[in-house]
Amino acid sequence: MLTFPLNFIIVVIILFTIIKIKNMYSFSTHEKELLRTWDVFDKPEIFSPQKRETKIIISYYKEFLIMKYSTKLSDTVHVMVLIAINKEKSLSSASIAESVHTNPGFVRQLMLKLKKAGLMTSVAGHARPSLSKPADQITLLDIYKAVEGDKPLLHLDTHTNPECGVGINIQLSLQGFYNEIQKTAEEKMNTITLQDIIDTYYQRISIENNLQNII
């Protein structure tokens, strides 16, 4: 009688599960394009009922399969604004995730990075996170460094053809310009505070309310 190691059996089960999920939630080219442009939330009717009910699947698809670029900065700003304008309310990672349209685990990862950077405080078991300092003392650069570290805004393609003259030299030619862009962007980000973003948010809300009153 043949016997198999437990680890082998576990690997087989995991692979089978992944394949099954992939087949269940495979998206057409048109659906992928809608997900990329977020039109999926305006046109949910184009998905089958099975796909429409998988909000969590879509959030994972967003984070791991579609976007090659990072949205951590905008999501983290979203989280921090929610905390700043809801000082007297309880905010669990689940309720924050509902607003960001992602999963609670992803929110907890962002909040942990903010805590390590000294930008947020929270107590385990209590849904009352708070900013560690006033919003006008937290810059967009502070937040970016907290969640992205030293990752550059622009990335070179390091997998071009080394046998091609352009392929091997174009990336090195771009590097200096990319460095300049990074420096300029960081200098600008350092002048924008979380309070600036909150003020702009309230201005937009005020404008929308005025328009609704006119209509």
Q: Which amino acid, one-letter code, is at 33?
A: E
| Residue where the block lists tokens 């949910």 | 44
Assess whether 124 and 34 both reside in one domain.
no
| Cβ count within 10 A of residue 176 | 9
Do residues 33 and 18 share a domain?
yes
Taking only Cα atoms into account, the Rg of the chain, rounded to an integer number of angstroms, comes to: 22
Tokens of 200: 């702009």
Q: Which residues pair with 56 in a beta bridge?
A: none
Say whether both 147 and 166 belong to one domain: yes
* Whether residue 58 is found in the same domain as residue 160: no
- How far apart are the C-alpha atoms of 15 and 87, rounded to whole Å? 45
Residue 142 lies in a domain: yes
Read off the tokens for 214. Answer: 């006119």
- Top pLDDT among 91 and 70 is at 91
38: left (phi over 0), alpha (psi -120 to 50) or beta: left
Mean pLDDT of 196-206: 93
Three-state SS at 43? coil
Of 66, 84, 117, at which residue does a domain stop?
66
CB 134 within 8 A of CB 127: no
Domain assignment present for 98: yes
* Residues 15 and 104 reside in one and the same domain: no
Are 82 and 166 in the same domain? yes
Q: 159 pLDDT band (50/70/90 cuts)? A: confident
Token pair 């091997």 is found at 168
Residue 105 falls within a domain, yes or no? Answer: yes
| Count of structural domains, the chain | 2
CA distance 206 to 201: 9
CB 144 within 8 A of CB 73: yes
Per residue in 25-84, pLDDT (tens digit) is 444 544 444 444 444 444 444 445 554 444 455 555 554 444 456 789 999 999 999 999
Contact predicate 109/46, CB 8 Å: no
- Tally of CA atoms within 13 A in the half-sphere of 212 that contains its CB: 6
Per-residue pLDDT tens over the stretch 133-144: 999 999 999 999
Task: Please state the rounded mean pLDDT for residues 162-176.
Answer: 81
Give yes or no: residues 142 and 119 share one domain: yes
Higher confidence at residue 49 or residue 91? 91
The answer to whether position 93 is within a domain reads yes
Beta bridge partners of 121: 130
- Among residues 99, 196, 88, which one has the least CA distance to residue 142? 196
Residue range of the domain that includes 187: 72-214
